[in-house]
Amino acid sequence: MKKHINILYFSWIVISLAIFSYLTIKFYPRYLENEFPLFTDLTVLIFLPSYFCLTWLAIHLMSIITKNRILNVIITFSIVGIAFVISIIGLEFNLLMNTVISLLALSIGSVHYSITFILFYLSDFNKSLNNK
């Protein structure tokens, strides 16, 4: 069973990295010289969750490397805060709409992080890192 969870965890990380990187690059909102502004607004609904999933994936990988729990919390809040501010500044909506869309995308990224953390906790990667 542990071997299956290890394979599932590793596959989850690799596939998530590939899919969310592709979606973030492909659906990056381009507001200049755009013939279809409504389509650009719809691409934001794909771009932002992918962006926040990549952010949480980077935080997960950083937390594996860093062992200090206080440093992990500080870096996590810093990275999420900076990513949130960048997502609000980067959108061309009003501030309330930017905040709502970014919070929804952040919550989707948080769900992805939770699944990643559970798979990591159940895998042997967690135990091998704790023994070192």
DSSP string, 91-102: S-S-HHHHHHHH
CA angle 14, 20, 26 (to 5 degrees): 135
- Tens of pLDDT along the chain (132 residues)? 778 888 999 999 999 999 999 999 998 887 777 777 677 778 888 999 999 999 999 999 999 888 888 999 999 999 999 999 998 887 777 788 888 889 999 999 999 999 999 999 998 877 766 555
Contact between residue 95 and residue 88 where contact means Cβ atoms under 8 Å apart: yes
Q: Report d(CA 49, CA 107) in Å as an integer.
A: 8
CA-based nearest residue to 109, from 61, 33, 49, 34: 49
pTM to 2 decimal places: 0.85
